[in-house]
Chain A
């Protein structure tokens, strides 16, 4: 498996008027092509910084970040634009990247159709449920056909039931589109139910403390939660997180 994203000894320092803050120190890890990697860490450990670094929105203070391919960023909130229809929201990345061709639009619409947004294309975001909106946000992320998906706690703003359903959806869509994904979350069970590999970060400055390859197979998240090994992993990660 080839690496599609690689962090090598990455250090990132925030400079403020009150001094500097080391958000990440000597961070090293890689994500392979087609892999689903989840990163968990104590709150405030600089998880979002890490995604911004990966997406190239921030430049590391030292170290190297190598990536092959384009990124799609999915945030906590769906961030759909209220003044655009769902269809127009899906086209947003295409417009921004000047890829708004008929073929690309058709591709985006095909995805929407395939994943159950077909009836909502002419609706406005306010008319959709929270789960549907988050699904629309994922399709928007996929619209520009990115090679790597960066997921920044994409379910944390949803209520529990919706969260499980959307998590199921997203896992299904990402697997069937064969995308590489890097998920940041503070929810241990979410990480276990989705990922091929889990990285545990330390408190700030963030470093990779532990890395685990999960052996739960390519089954949907809810099935994974039923797996006997699930609680074992939960316990392990819980302990490591609180160490």
Chain B
């Protein structure tokens, strides 16, 4: 917000706030540097076996060698594709199913127990079935990702649709609005903030789904590298893949936050 006059006091307040923010960032980076440094130190001095603990330098070397033999971006690409495809499908399908459930109370009541059970069921229990149905390729993992994300997407949107302000519903009805008009002019626009929060939750769900899928069955991807590395006791590979996963997840989260900022700016005005 712009003020026509900016008092000294206000300037002091703003400066203090800036300083505080800088301090927080410095400490954040400091904590990371400290952790990495200690990790490197204890392994380099042989206090802890680097074969079990790995170390930052060994992780860097592993990633470099993955890059050198061309498999780095291949594995990243596979995981990213599975995650994004599963995310997109779960979000779109979840939204549409939530709409259907909002539209028909009967359908909603009929399906309620099934949704509750599906929500409570640990999706990993379906692993063997998914392998048999979809094989061992990416399809199986995408399916797992959808399965993990879709119920949350449905429930999130449905509760937003149902929570539409009853006063505004009455207003629309008093104007003689039909169900489609109520949906289009009231329910959808007022559920917009929930749509954004649903996207945020679903990003996290998609990562859980894709990595879980790769744990169960895969021939490529970061989850595959972690499992494979564990099986052959290459902890460097496990740590490297985990590190890459952290980077990707953080990157995707940052993208969603950016998207949220753009969308909310357009919505709130």
Contact = CB atoms under 8 A, between A and B. Distances in A.
Contacts of A93: 175
A97 B175 CA distance: 7
Interface stretch (B16-24, B86-94, B164-172, B214-222): B164-172
20 contacts: A57-B170, A72-B174, A73-B175, A75-B167, A77-B167, A79-B165, A79-B168, A79-B171, A81-B168, A81-B189, A83-B189, A83-B190, A83-B267, A92-B185, A96-B172, A96-B177, A96-B181, A124-B269, A144-B175, A150-B174
A76 B181 CA distance: 23
A36 interface: no
A76 B269 CA distance: 25
Given A73-B170, A73-B174, 11 more contacts: A55-B174, A73-B171, A76-B167, A79-B168, A81-B185, A81-B190, A83-B189, A83-B192, A96-B177, A96-B185, A97-B176
A8 interface: no
Nearest to B178: A96
B260 to A, nearest CB: 16
Contacts of A76: 167
A73 B172 CA distance: 10
A95 interface: yes
B174 A57 contact: yes
Contacts of B176: 96-97
Nearest to B170: A75
A142 to B, nearest CB: 13
Label chain B's interface by main secondary structure. helix
A155 interface: no
A71 B189 CA distance: 25
Label chain A's interface by main secondary structure. loop
B173 interface: yes
Interface of B: 165, 167-168, 170-177, 181, 185-186, 189-190, 192, 267, 269
Contacts of B171: 73, 75, 79
Interface residues of A, number: 19
Max chain A C-beta neighbours (<10 A), residue from B170, B185, B186? B170
Contacts of A97: 175-176
Contact of B174 (A71, A81, A83, A124): A71
Nearest to A126: B268
Contacts of A71: 174
A128 B192 CA distance: 22
Contacts of B267: 83
* A-B interface, 4 closest residue pairs, ranked by CB to CB distance from nearest: A73-B174, A96-B175, A96-B177, A79-B171
Contacts of B192: 83
Contacts of B167: 75-77, 79
Max chain A C-beta neighbours (<10 A), residue from B176, B177, B267, B269? B176
A93 B181 CA distance: 11
Interface in A63-87: 71-73, 75-77, 79, 81, 83
Nearest to B186: A81
Contacts of A96: 172, 175-177, 181, 185
Contacts of A95: 185
Nearest to A123: B269
A155 to B, nearest CB: 15
